[in-house]
Chains A and B, each alone.
Chain A
């Protein structure tokens, strides 16, 4: 074992005795365990790990030991301090966790409290559904085109092959604008040659005059007819119109474009149906229907499963379409020998009604916030 040392100090030697080290270690551990809160632990920390704590003092004595004893004592004290520090840290985090748990419980709130501080706003569903339809076509490369609502008759009718005595040009459908005679007095009758546009189709003519083919445009907008407001009619309503003029466009292209639109808006397995019809600005013309997106045709002939959306017809009427009448192309300066085109248009109010179960047209017109608010920002 070790040889005797001249500077041997019995007191110090006592402090470094294994028993003594063990005792102060256990005292410290007991004090930490006994500490019931962070304050008590802080006191215990000072008492048992601070500069004047027994272990710190013992540590200081190590330097005085002979080299052989140094290592041994150092190891002993170091281990004891390690155990004590670890116990302190453990107790510290234990008590902190306890404190946190207590404080956070005290800070708990009723998360079910309502918070209608600033009531939500909303865009009108007619606006957002028009955007949604337009975006389907914008994604395909179409441009959105617009035009005036107070429109020249030539754009609204003549350019679209409505001959002068077409019934749609007559007083019961069209709002005519008063003209002004040279002496400044208002004129009566349809002498101004200006109307509130009865459809979005004049934008077709404007677009064809504005651009060189190929032209692929979609035109959402507000239109006017002299119908009184009731549950299913409104004198001011919205349409969306589509026009494609290019080389070699066919009715099959029209059909494919319609199919794509209803699939984009109503689901992947939707389809359309064309029925022959008549419109002055298209030839051939068709009425377009889409499969009822609610019953998918299952309600037809099944009185036990009536469908309110399509009236158990299996199809929902969307609007009119057809190949652009070559006369329209001619009036707009497009060579019908070289180019062909297709067009379609439909009413937005109707689409909103069947897509969202709106039962009364007036709800879309009156601006009641209770109707509009639930539709939010997008549709």
Chain B
């Protein structure tokens, strides 16, 4: 809502010194979001006067037609002589009153007017258009031609109200009444503690039986319909300057007198109005629901198919308006036309004015259904004061009579479905309890009265809310009115005392540790959008029946290329890797933690539960059953060098082993033992892919994969060569976690070290050999470390040598060499039995 300060002053006697900024601050305090204060006519200074065009000489020797004019500007030019002005516009004639900027004037945009020679003539000023004066569109697009009654030589900056300030207010959905000058004026008056001149307080004739016939079939959708008729309008009458200026400043374009007046009254009182050309209406005006599939053309020229829920205004032939949203094309006020032969002026002379009240929800649904938001629908959706309808109709009648020479017919139609005033009961100290401030009953009552409520009662108040505040329905709504008018800025600051907390949950702490562990290992976190497209699954080489292809899909994705939600973190993370690589960072280690979305296919439809009670546990379960599984995962991707080469020596490239190590480190954070096994799983390289397992509730459970990506995937996704990746479900790691670690017992007896090199077949997993050595060595084994892997001719075809350092120690004695050797031999023996390992050199 754009509110010109000059207009606002009509209803509230603000001190003359108050600026737009001052009013903004006051209104913000009472809860109106005044987003900007615009200075109209900033940088504009006179002399700017009304002149009368005396002569026009057409200059034709130039590329475009130019006029050399003389204009009577009275004594304002100091001489009283006609002012000579060169002008490029053509929409004026000799005798027209125009706005003249004299030399010395400055127009918006620092446009300085001076005497100058142009097109071979001296030009001493400018004949102005609305645009040049910063007035905005006046619908003509050319020179301003003033009505003839304005005197020559008067100051045009005042006449055109060129200087003003406009408050732009973002009206929240609960404050529909502030989509009117009346509502904003009421808030202003309260904020300043000044009286309000309510523009809706008009003398309105009582309804009678000889007004235009109206029949309401749908009293729930339309509980009030006022119809008034004005006849004998001069179709040539134009809106006066003051009216057009106010519309412009409020952001509306002047169109024609009848339309301008209805718009003006809507801005003033908040009541949307519609003016019908009476000659185009047949029979009774009706209000009903549309027939399903009924067709109707709105005045924007769009043909619409109506829904059975749409509320329509009809005459005997059918719909003439989409109630509360937009009128129809064929009953619109006619444009003024001059008959080409007779010269007779044709246009609307008789109008029927509709001021009705429609159901908020019904209008909201219709506007949404037809994607048609209008000034009217915007107001009805938020709630319009039903009691202001007859005043608004009267105001419209008055203005049409005054400005277009019409006469009001005596017939007054009012169809009203009576409703009881709405009351809310609250304890008098309820606002005090909500705010934590002792306002006292007197203040509470006074503030509620300022809002427009009638208040009765002592300790328990019965509050009748005003007709323009449909949002006031609950005790807390009334509390808010009191607290905001007393000032949110005056609320004290106190701290509640929550019960002692338990800190983060295990899952939350693990989530943090995962991030810290990966960052500490050199990974940089990327937070990627979860939107993906199906083609990425082909690029990843997933089988047709791969579970990851089963996605949650969006009805309205931002991009049709990416209509689904991720089932794996890899596409997003690999995208970030590619983006970084493309920007010149080639040695990359990235990670992400986040949810993936895995529909089970068993999802049900989420029903709409009631809100007037707690849903049952079954109802909550049914809602949760409508949701896909959303586990928390972590993933890493690597490319380029893992360790840089430098003065310290050679670095090394990121490999499959780094990816698997990332998984091991996360398992360690969770305090879980990770089992790694070779696997073949897209998108990984079939020979360099590990499946990762942990034990959850005694069951070995697959938690993820790691390794080098398949070369085809690398190519398809345009990734750096040998890109590696790991993805793991951290929620499963958390479930596998077995609680508090048992501290190791530290023996201070000396260690006995034994190295062994074992030869095994090349395809024997080192993990199996290690497991056998550990099992065979028994409890004297303190630690075991693989320190070399060797292949060579001397070992024989397809063999490899694994060299381990074994450390033995007892908790109660120094081990003898024999004891350590016996344990080592037992380890070798078991490794030989399980894996075919042979001691090298034996």
Contacts and interface: CB of A to CB of B under 8 A. Distances in A.
Nearest to B559: A228
A330 B610 CA distance: 10
B626 to A, nearest CB: 6
A154 B31 contact: no
Interface in A118-141: 118-124, 126-127, 131, 138, 140-141
Interface stretch (A29-37, A57-65, A71-79, A272-280): A272-280
Interface stretch (B61-69, B276-284, B520-528, B702-710): B520-528
A126 B153 CA distance: 64
A171 B493 contact: no
A177 B552 contact: yes
Interface in B501-550: 501-505, 508, 512, 515-516, 518-530
Most buried by A among B565, B607, B614: B614
A179 B602 CA distance: 11
A144 B648 contact: no
A117 B368 contact: no
Given A121-B589, A216-B501, A192 B488 contact: no
Contacts of B30: 276
Contacts of B579: 366-368
Interface string B299-331: 000000000000000000000000000000000
Contact of A150 (B491, B524, B614, B628): B628
B554 A116 contact: no
Contact of A369 (B364, B590, B595): B590
A124 B527 contact: yes
Contact of A283 (B480, B491, B589): B480
A231 interface: no
B795 to A, nearest CB: 34
A214 B499 contact: yes
Contact of A154 (B503, B522, B606): B606
A178 to B, nearest CB: 4
Tell me the interface secondary structure of chain B in the complex.
loop
Interface in B135-156: none
A301 to B, nearest CB: 10
Contact of A191 (B588, B605, B609): B605
A367 B33 contact: no
A10 interface: no
A259 interface: yes
A228 B646 CA distance: 44
Nearest to B433: A250
Interface string A263-295: 000000000011111100001111100000000
Contacts of B699: none
A340 B499 CA distance: 16
A311 B528 CA distance: 30
A255 interface: yes
Most chain B CB within 10 A, of A121, A193, A278, A366, is at A121
A373 interface: yes
B489 A274 contact: yes
Contact of B556 (A155, A163, A176, A373): A176
A268 to B, nearest CB: 14
Contact of B495 (A120, A167, A257, A332): A257
Nearest to A279: B172
A367 B525 CA distance: 7
Interface string B605-648: 11111111111000010011011101000000000001110111
Identify the interface centre among B172, B501, B601: most chain A CB within 10 Å of its CB: B501
Contact of B474 (A151, A170, A326): A326
Interface string A186-209: 101111111010000000000001
A251 B491 contact: yes
Interface in A139-155: 140-144, 146, 148-155
B496 A253 contact: yes
A182 to B, nearest CB: 9
B614 A209 contact: yes
B492 interface: yes
Contacts of B594: 222
Nearest to A251: B435
B583 A153 contact: no
A285 B174 CA distance: 11
A159 interface: yes
A332 B619 CA distance: 12
A355 B527 CA distance: 19
Given A131-B512, A175-B556, A177-B554, A121 B606 contact: no
A260 B500 CA distance: 18
B236 interface: no
B580 A369 contact: yes
| Most chain A C-beta atoms within 10 Å of own C-beta, residue among B483, B491, B611, B647 | B611
Interface in B21-35: 28-31, 33
Interface string B429-456: 0000111110000000000000000000
A250 B519 contact: no
B492 A252 contact: yes
A158 B609 contact: yes
* B: interface residue count bin: 35 or more
Name the residue among B492, B579, B595, B605 with the largest chain A CB count within 10 angstroms.
B605
A259 B520 CA distance: 34
A290 to B, nearest CB: 13
Given A216-B501, A276-B488, A161 B493 contact: no
Contacts of A119: 522, 587, 589, 644
Contact of A180 (B31, B595, B603): B603
A366 B643 contact: no
Contacts of A22: none
A275 B28 contact: yes
Contact of A192 (B364, B590, B606): B606
B623 A152 contact: yes
B183 to A, nearest CB: 14
Interface string A238-265: 0000001010111111011101100000
Identify the interface centre among B28, B505, B519, B585: most chain A CB within 10 Å of its CB.
B519
A377 interface: yes
Nearest to A161: B611
A186 B523 CA distance: 39
Given A273-B489, A274-B491, A194 B606 contact: yes
B743 interface: no
A370 B588 CA distance: 11
A192 B529 CA distance: 22
A252 B437 contact: yes
Given A257-B496, A284-B483, A154 B595 contact: no
A186 B553 contact: yes
A190 B528 CA distance: 25
A51 interface: no
B529 A127 contact: no
| Residue with the greatest number of chain B CB neighbours at <10 A, chosen from A122, A144, A152, A165 | A152
Interface in B161-188: 172-175
Contact of B580 (A115, A250, A326, A368): A368
A263 B644 CA distance: 43
B20 to A, nearest CB: 15
Nearest to A334: B614
Interface string A84-126: 0000000000000000000000000000011111111111101
18 contacts: A117-B648, A119-B522, A121-B524, A154-B606, A159-B609, A178-B553, A190-B555, A193-B607, A214-B499, A251-B491, A253-B436, A256-B493, A274-B489, A277-B33, A284-B476, A331-B614, A331-B615, A369-B524
Given A140-B501, A284-B483, 17 more contacts: A163-B361, A176-B554, A180-B601, A193-B606, A214-B498, A248-B433, A252-B437, A256-B493, A275-B33, A277-B33, A278-B172, A278-B174, A323-B434, A325-B476, A326-B476, A333-B613, A340-B434
Interface of A: 113-124, 126-127, 131, 138, 140-144, 146, 148-155, 158-159, 161, 163, 165-167, 170-171, 175-180, 186, 188-194, 196, 209, 214, 216, 222, 226, 228, 235-236, 244, 246, 248-253, 255-257, 259-260, 273-278, 283-287, 323, 325-327, 330-333, 340, 364-370, 372-373, 376-377
